[in-house]
Chain A
Amino acid sequence: MNAAVPVINRMFRLQWEEAQEAWVLLYPEGMVQLNASAAEILTRVDGQKTIEEIQRELLTKYPEAEGLEQDVNDFFAHAQTLNWIRYV
């Protein structure tokens, strides 16, 4: 159960980049290319959904994925240390 509501930090902008065929996070004078799973999670971060709701959405989309909930929790912990997200 995780009722926290993440939102992308104002410093960063999430954007699909056609030239790289990838989601990226843009920030002052820099850019990080996201892998597919990071993009699946971050594109669901809207300042409304809880982490639990995001996990549920992903489980519906990928019912066979093992350890998905833990992966999502780990991702958010990591994203917070990178300052990508904060909680509302």
Chain B
Amino acid sequence: MFETAKRRQPLWLLAELTYKCPLQCPYCSNPLDFASAGQELTTEQWIDVFRQARKMGAAQLGFSGGEPLVRQDLEILIAEARRLGYYTNLITSGIGLNAQRIAHFHDAGLDHIQVSFQASDEEVNQMLSGSAKAFAQKLKMAREVKAQGYPMVLNFVTHRHNIDQIDRIIELCVELEADYVELATCQYYGWAFENREALLPTRAQLERAERITNEYRERLAAQGHPIKLIFVTPDYYEERPKKCMNGWGELFLTVTPDGTALPCHSARMLPLTFPNVKDHSLSHIWNDSEGFNYFRGKGWMKEPCRSCDEQDDDLGGCRCQAYMLTGDMHNADPVCAKSEHHSLIVEARLAAEGDVSTAMTFRNERNSRVFFKG
């Protein structure tokens, strides 16, 4: 969504304020061992991060988590970010929100609220979020967000269990007057990778969903409806990898709850050392740290990427996916048909065609402790 910057600047700052969350979605992108993370940054430490990043060119600030609403100082952080000139985005499940809080955020200068949904009906939503009341609360809050005049993005992570409801999902978004809708097919990192077998849709499911989305796009456009439907295909059904994060350390800077700085929110899983904002200035972190420089440029590439004539299109794809699937983060992303490990992706697609187990590991403290002890 960004036009290319002339210089390398962290235009997008993602502030993962906390790993605490009342929901337990089995596709959460937080690390599996989030329960082992250190102490959360204080209000003053976050404000200092915002100030430094703004000086380095950051213009978009996402408040994320976990559930950012858990932070009692959120209003203060929003006000300070807005004062610094950020476009402020609150990325929330809506759990913990109420009309008064939405109004306070508005007064603090919040620009936009993104509400994530698990499904278009209560039953599936409950199964996925682990909360019975979540769906009704989300509907109520989405209506309140619009009633108070905010731009609103609705985000549905789609997968095997809800992708066949895509028509109902879109209709719900139209009814709720969303400005943008992200129909984001689950990406298999963190908890989603753990639950991949139970989440990956079949090719037929995916093609049907994309066709229906296109039909809605045409119909809505013909009505002059301003809603924008963004359909994110899962790379598991592609033959070339995605240009992950638009290039490592080119545009995105994530700061995790304990202050660890990452070039993308998944990168913590890699066997690299990432700097902490408590120990270093952001300028040092962005420009000079080993973690941010490691995959910049193309010098790190192995074959087949090194001599590939498409290397600039995708920069070898996602480093985390290469590491998770092949054990070597320097390998080509196995999504690429030129990768010697591409069969791993093909096998996952084939497995999705059969009867799959619906058992999933839900993202919660108890399960997370298993991952960091084990």
Contact = CB atoms under 8 A, between A and B. Distances in A.
A74 to B, nearest CB: 20
The main secondary structure of chain B at its interface with chain A is loop
A59 interface: no
B1 A30 contact: yes
A20 B5 CA distance: 8
B56 A31 contact: no
A17 B180 CA distance: 25
B6 A29 contact: no
A32 B153 contact: no
Contacts of B11: 31
Nearest to B226: A83
A33 B11 CA distance: 12
Nearest to A22: B6
A27 B3 contact: no
B179 A31 contact: no
Contacts of A15: 59, 85, 87
Contacts of A17: 57, 59
Interface in B24-58: 55-57
A26 B59 CA distance: 8
A16 to B, nearest CB: 9
Contacts of B151: 10-11, 27-28
B3 A29 contact: no
A56 interface: no
Interface in B53-98: 55-57, 59-60, 62, 85, 87, 89
B59 A31 contact: yes
A31 B3 contact: yes
Contact of B89 (A11, A20, A29): A29
Contact of B60 (A11, A19, A30): A30
Interface in B146-160: 149, 151, 153
Given A29-B1, A31-B2, A19 B56 contact: yes
Contacts of B60: 26, 29-31
A78 interface: no
Most B CB contacts (10 A, CB to CB) among A10, A19, A28, A32 go to A28
Given A15-B85, A27-B87, A33-B3, A10 B59 contact: no
B258 interface: no
Given A26-B87, A32-B3, A11 B179 contact: yes
Contacts of B5: 20
Interface in B235-256: none
B111 interface: yes
A80 to B, nearest CB: 11
Interface in A4-20: 10-11, 13, 15, 17, 19-20
B57 A19 contact: yes
Nearest to B5: A20
Nearest to A25: B87
A83 B2 CA distance: 17
A24 interface: yes
Contacts of B12: 29
A32 B226 CA distance: 19
14 contacts: A10-B149, A11-B179, A15-B87, A17-B59, A19-B59, A20-B6, A28-B87, A28-B151, A29-B12, A29-B60, A29-B114, A30-B1, A31-B1, A32-B3
Closest 6 CB pairs of A and B: A19-B57, A30-B1, A26-B87, A28-B112, A11-B151, A28-B153
Given A15-B59, A26-B59, A27-B87, 17 more contacts: A11-B151, A13-B87, A19-B57, A19-B59, A20-B6, A26-B60, A26-B87, A28-B111, A29-B1, A29-B12, A29-B60, A29-B153, A30-B60, A31-B2, A31-B11, A31-B59, A33-B3
